[in-house]
Amino acid sequence: MNPPEGGATLPELSAAADAAAATLTRAAAELDRLDLPASAGLAAVPGRLGELGEALHAQLSAAVAARAREAAAHAVRFADAGQVLRVVVAGYAETDAQAHRRHRDGAS
């Protein structure tokens, strides 16, 4: 068994994962709310320019929707990582407490 070499602790990692998840959740909401009115109204122009405006709007809307989904999905991954780390921290803490009790009971 090798000794630990410092670096971030489990609670610090858990907090960092939660913070990243929160940032990405906010980003996904911002992207969902982004106001993209038919490429600034160009789609209302008749003829080929209007068709181009519709196509550009569709392209932009799809890109922003993809950014929102990416952010939301990665927020879930970070949140899951934070949750796993908290479970591990709790498990280690309980193991330490049990060892402490055994040591105390054995010594009395």
Among 18, 25, 32, 67, binds other proteins (CB under 8 A): 67
64 binds other proteins (CB under 8 A): yes
x/- site string to other proteins, residues 73 to 102, per CB under 8 A? xx--xx--x------xx--xx---------
Phi-psi region of 4 (alpha: psi -120 to 50; beta: other; left: phi over 0): beta
According to CB under 8 A, which residues from 34 to 63 bind other proteins?
Answer: 34-37, 39-42, 44-50, 52-53, 55-56, 59-60, 62-63
d(CA 22, CA 76): 9
Residue 8 backbone phi and psi in degrees, to 5: -70, 145
# binding residues, other proteins (CB under 8 A) = 61
DSSP 34-94: ----HHHHGGGS-HHHHHHHHHHHHHHHHHHHHHHHHHHHHHHHHHHHHHHHHHHHHHHHH
Assigned token pair, 98: 């049990």
**Residue ranges in contact with other proteins by CB under 8 A:** 1-13, 16-17, 19-20, 23-24, 26-27, 30-31, 34-37, 39-42, 44-50, 52-53, 55-56, 59-60, 62-64, 66-67, 69-71, 73-74, 77-78, 81, 88-89, 92-93
